[in-house]
Amino acid sequence: MNYAPDLTMAAVKMVLSLGLVLAVLWLAYRWTRRSLPAGAAGSKGQLIKVLGSRYLGVKKSITVVQVPGTVLVLGIGSDRINLLTRIDDPELLASMSKTTSNDEKSEGFKEQLQRMLHPMDAIKSKSAVTDGPKRV
């Protein structure tokens, strides 16, 4: 008696095992998303905000970062991050927050991308707004 392995039964077992593993991974993902604090899961209420960055050379830049209560000026290199200065002056912080609030009203990434991909549409829409309705 020669017993040949049943390939269809082996394939069914393999597919069911894969489905079980994927279901466990999906449940673990859902559980971690619900159980982590809102800030840890990448929500929009971020405590650290990059106000600006200027590249100086290859893998070298200066970045201004706002954390609650202070603004940090960081020197970023290829292998380290150095604190250049800390801005704690309330008047300067107030003026910087006014500047950043004006910048937030500017167009977002989606609008900039659309403007770059369709430059003629942006010109037409601006001329339609400035010219107003045309009378025939």
pLDDT tens by residue, the chain, 136 residues: 566 678 888 899 999 999 999 999 999 998 888 877 655 544 456 788 888 888 888 889 999 888 887 889 999 998 999 999 888 877 777 776 666 555 555 566 677 667 667 766 655 655 555 555 555 5
Q: Residue 115, Cβ neighbours under 10 Å: how many?
A: 14
d(CA 59, CA 80): 10
Coil, helix or strand for 70? strand
Q: Which two tokens stand for residue 129?
A: 């707004």
Q: Is 113 exposed, middle or buried (0-12, 13-18, 19+ CB in 10 A)?
A: exposed
